[in-house]
Chains A and B, each alone.
Chain A
Amino acid sequence: MDGANDSAVKGSCQCGGGCASAGNGKFLNETPMLDQLESGPWPSFVSGFKELAERTKKPMLRGVLDQLEYSYQTKMGYWKGGLVTVDGYGAGIITRYSMIKDKYPEAAEFHTMRIQPAPGLHYNTAMLRELCDTWEKYGSGIITLHGQTGDIMLQGIEQDKVQECFDELNQNGWDLGGAGAGMRTGVSCIGQGRCENACYDNLKLHLDALKHFSPQVHRPEWNYKLKFKFSGCPNDCTNAIMRSDLAVIGTWRDAIDIDHDEVKAWIAERGVDALVNNVINHCPTKAIMLKDGDIDISTRDCVRCMHCINAMSKALSPGKERGIALLMGGKNTLKVGVNMGSLIVPFMKMESDEDREAFLELIEEIIDWWDDAGLDHERIGETIERVGLKQFLDGVGIEYDINQISRPRDNPYFKAKY
């Protein structure tokens, strides 16, 4: 990057500690505590940062390492937020200003650009190299693959380079993810790309849904954040139930598909003990019976937990009538305590464009309701906890279904309409 070397000279260490006299011919100052994270077998981010800094001589990288070292020494963090955006958008750049820029002026600004990757986190090397080139040109060269909400996080850019950097990325097909009180970037498991368990095309639904809500990703306008996660089956590899407000989890309605020859081959290889101890005994509803050296599954008892299918991948598969279950309201601690998503819609087909459109209409309804009923800084699960599931279902026009509860109420105080 032009000019990097100049500012490197003027921005030499200001910390006043021993590091000012690095004097070892190296670009970086001493970082004795961080250096200890270079030993051990797991790949070290510190080594990566240092190599990048020595190669590119970007002053910001030296400043960030110095500030991080200072955090390690003082056991305190030193970033504060602010507001930086690109033209037309109100979100997607996470602003970071240093609180100790007098000490480390090279790290005065260290903003992050959240970039939405392809669903399922798939890349070809051409697009990834292009991304790296742009990022090296305008930013620090540090990349987080990936944040918990699913974004590529390009970490470390100054405000006056953000627009140009974004324009170049945008020309190559990339767009910013969300932040603030709006729709956030989604997450998908690999789904039908490689997994035999995937019960719907979660990559396609993810793409359609996030494109549909792009305006709300870029211009947050709701009570608070809303996150989608799309898992192809109840194994829920994206942790949708815990970590998204809208958990879209693939499932099926008919019987598990059994290849009896493969069941026999499994038993021949591993023995009946393994079948009983590792498959049958683990079925949560005792839906599986051992019968003449083969298995019999009572579909009416099966809760579609996936265990037997996981254990006997060759022999068992989800049924043929596949679709999604929608769970809602998952979030972590702040402030009512941990909440898992709860089942709202037990089954929706998700095969055609019409199915996907019907899904998006439902989500629109849900958001409209939440807009009206929710309070500022209240996630949708908290709103439902406050006003009641029944009120939500009535408000959105979703039918009652016994699958929405784990048991009927145990509290006798209610007012019924007779």
Chain B
Amino acid sequence: MSSQERTWKTIESGPHTYEEALHPVVRKNYGKWKYHEIPKPGVLKHVAESGDAIWTVRAGTPRQDTVDKVRLLCDIADKYSDGFLRFTVRNNVEFLTPNGENVEPMIAELESLGFPVGGTGMCVSAVSHTQGWLHCDIPATDASGVVKSMMDTVYNEFKDMQMPNKVRLSTSCCSINCGGQADIAVVVKHTRPPRINHDHLVKTCELPKAVARCPVAAIRPTVVDGKKSLMVDEAKCICCGACFGACPAMEINHPEHSKFAVWVGGKNSNARSKPSTMSLVAHNLPNNPPRWPEVTEVIGRILTAYKAGGRPWERIGEWINRIGWKRFFEETGLEFDDNMIDSYRHARTTFNQSAHIRF
């Protein structure tokens, strides 16, 4: 298809407008909601000051959708929620209807089409999800496949509300961690410094940019075969992969040596404790497609221990704060090792600056 003469002049409209996409009952009661209930897993009931009520049915999706799947969701919305639907930031789809009688048939139809209904309240919700081999240019693993495998194993926890509090999961296919901070996060950890392809490097990379990208100043200019290139001081390198983003000739991904690590205790909400960042509790897990069983096994252990020991409303990090890291490792059967003692900037803030001791 050759590009023809353009007849359309671009309108820089920014985001799509939302008013036409709001259900009329939402528009009418906008900003005037009074309270909500969760009548059953996957269903919310919001009541407005006017007395109007709206039911929400929430379902999981693969996130990597297709036009066919989206049209299926539109069929559901046309049939049961007056042609309106929305998505949550965790990739769930929601149908809002003022008609409570639509709830059960909608659930039945969604489930029959393979969209699990759940993701509300004290549950394990869908995974905050990165790109991986399907689309990113710097991943050491896939994202959609890891997520599919994880969600298969926590399927019942998605559909039920038996956890002490919400559990947020995330995945990331390199240490940049687009997946973000979560109660349990699966993040790739490279375990070897980059391998440099000097032929490519001189042709494709801006040397100062690659040097500047390194957080520990491990990259130095050098000369190889009479041409300017770069070298890595392997003793300094922390295997973060940042240089690979700037210079793909510094290959950090490795089929065996890029491993998985599991982090816990991240929390964004301000509820109760302040937001918190995550801590490393398992690493050196193999990158084992297509099902990554070693990773889902670790997640299973953490969830089982938290479900048994967490008190109502305690997020995973808050539960650990109460019982302490020593008991966290005992109860999950995971092993604390010396790599879990921070050695990067501000590390001392993670040391025990007290005589609080647990035996």
Residues on A close to B: CB < 8 A? 33-34, 36-37, 39-46, 48-49, 51-52, 55, 64, 68, 71-72, 74-81, 86-89, 94, 96, 110, 112, 116-129, 132-133, 135-136, 141-146, 148, 150, 155, 160-161, 163-164, 166-167, 170-171, 173-175, 185-187, 189-190, 192-196, 198, 201, 203, 206-207, 210-211, 214-215, 217-218, 234-243, 249, 277-278, 282-284, 303-307, 310-311, 313-314, 317, 332-338, 340, 376-377
**Known contacts A44-B62, A215-B12; is-contact A332 B275 (Cβ 8 Å):** no
Let me know if B138 is at the binding interface, CB within 8 A: yes
Let me know if B128 is at the binding interface, CB within 8 A: yes
- The CA-CA distance from A145 to B126 in the complex, in Å, is 13
Question: Is the CB–CB distance between A52 and B66 below 8 Å?
Answer: yes
Question: Is the CB–CB distance between A194 and B34 below 8 Å?
Answer: no
Question: Is the CB–CB distance between A128 and B74 below 8 Å?
Answer: yes
Question: Is the CB–CB distance between B63 and A194 below 8 Å?
Answer: no
A15 to chain B, nearest CB (A): 16
Question: Is the CB–CB distance between B6 and A163 below 8 Å?
Answer: yes
- List 6 additional A-B contacts (Cβ < 8 Å) besides A37-B291, A40-B149: A49-B66, A68-B142, A72-B133, A124-B84, A241-B275, A307-B271
- The CA-CA distance from A237 to B63 in the complex, in Å, is 18
Question: Is the CB–CB distance between A148 and B178 below 8 Å?
Answer: yes
- Residues of chain B within 8 A (CB-CB) of A142 are 64-66
- Residues of chain B within 8 A (CB-CB) of A305 are 270-272
Let me know if B290 is at the binding interface, CB within 8 A: yes
Identify the 10 closest CB pairs spanning chains A and B, nearest first.
A40-B152, A75-B255, A45-B64, A118-B18, A122-B21, A42-B151, A234-B270, A71-B133, A192-B31, A211-B14
Let me know if B181 is at the binding interface, CB within 8 A: yes
- The CA-CA distance from A146 to B130 in the complex, in Å, is 10
Interface range, B side: 35 or more
A21 to chain B, nearest CB (A): 22
Question: Is the CB–CB distance between B268 and A242 below 8 Å?
Answer: yes
Question: Is the CB–CB distance between B33 and A196 below 8 Å?
Answer: yes
Let me know if B101 is at the binding interface, CB within 8 A: no
**Known contacts A45-B144, A120-B86, A122-B84; is-contact A306 B277 (Cβ 8 Å):** no
Let me know if B8 is at the binding interface, CB within 8 A: yes
Question: Is the CB–CB distance between A235 and B270 below 8 Å?
Answer: yes
A237 to chain B, nearest CB (A): 6
Which B residues, 58 to 98, have Cβ-Cβ distances below 8 Å to chain A? 60-71, 73-74, 77-78, 83-89, 91, 93, 96
Question: Is the CB–CB distance between B18 and A207 below 8 Å?
Answer: yes
- Residues of chain B within 8 A (CB-CB) of A46 are 148
Let me know if B213 is at the binding interface, CB within 8 A: yes
Question: Is the CB–CB distance between B272 and A277 below 8 Å?
Answer: no
Let me know if B141 is at the binding interface, CB within 8 A: yes
**Known contacts A126-B83, A171-B8, A340-B277; is-contact A132 B140 (Cβ 8 Å):** no
**Known contacts A118-B16, A234-B271; is-contact A96 B137 (Cβ 8 Å):** yes
B289's nearest neighbour on chain A, judged by CB, is A72
Let me know if B194 is at the binding interface, CB within 8 A: no
Q: Can you identify 29 A-B contacts, CB atoms within 8 angstroms?
A: A37-B290, A39-B152, A40-B155, A41-B116, A75-B255, A77-B133, A110-B135, A117-B16, A123-B21, A123-B85, A124-B21, A125-B78, A129-B71, A132-B71, A132-B74, A145-B70, A148-B129, A160-B1, A167-B10, A190-B86, A194-B46, A195-B33, A198-B33, A215-B12, A240-B268, A242-B277, A284-B274, A317-B34, A340-B277
Interface centre among B12, B96, B178, B245 (most CB of A within 10 A): B12
Which B residues, 142 to 156, have Cβ-Cβ distances below 8 Å to chain A? 142, 144-145, 148-149, 151-152, 155
Let me know if B269 is at the binding interface, CB within 8 A: yes
B129 to chain A, nearest CB (A): 8
Question: Is the CB–CB distance between B35 and A196 below 8 Å?
Answer: yes
- The CA-CA distance from A217 to B132 in the complex, in Å, is 25
- Please encode chain B, from 95 to 122, with 1 for each CB lying within 8 Å of some chain A CB and 0 for all others: 0100000000000000000111000000
Let me know if B313 is at the binding interface, CB within 8 A: yes
- Residues of chain A within 8 A (CB-CB) of B89 are 121, 146, 150, 187, 189, 237-239
**Known contacts A96-B135, A125-B78, A193-B22; is-contact A332 B178 (Cβ 8 Å):** yes
- The CA-CA distance from A265 to B276 in the complex, in Å, is 34
Interface centre among A96, A112, A148 (most CB of B within 10 A): A148
- Residues of chain B within 8 A (CB-CB) of A314 are 34-35
**Known contacts A145-B70, A194-B56, A333-B176; is-contact A118 B17 (Cβ 8 Å):** yes
A80's nearest neighbour on chain B, judged by CB, is B137
Let me know if B179 is at the binding interface, CB within 8 A: yes
**Known contacts A68-B133, A278-B313; is-contact A194 B148 (Cβ 8 Å):** no
Question: Is the CB–CB distance between A36 and B71 below 8 Å?
Answer: no
- The CA-CA distance from A375 to B123 in the complex, in Å, is 42
Let me know if B139 is at the binding interface, CB within 8 A: yes
Which of A48, A207, A214 touches B12 (beta carbons < 8 Å)?
Answer: A214
Question: Is the CB–CB distance between B148 and A45 below 8 Å?
Answer: yes
Question: Is the CB–CB distance between A194 and B54 below 8 Å?
Answer: yes
Question: Is the CB–CB distance between A36 and B15 below 8 Å?
Answer: no
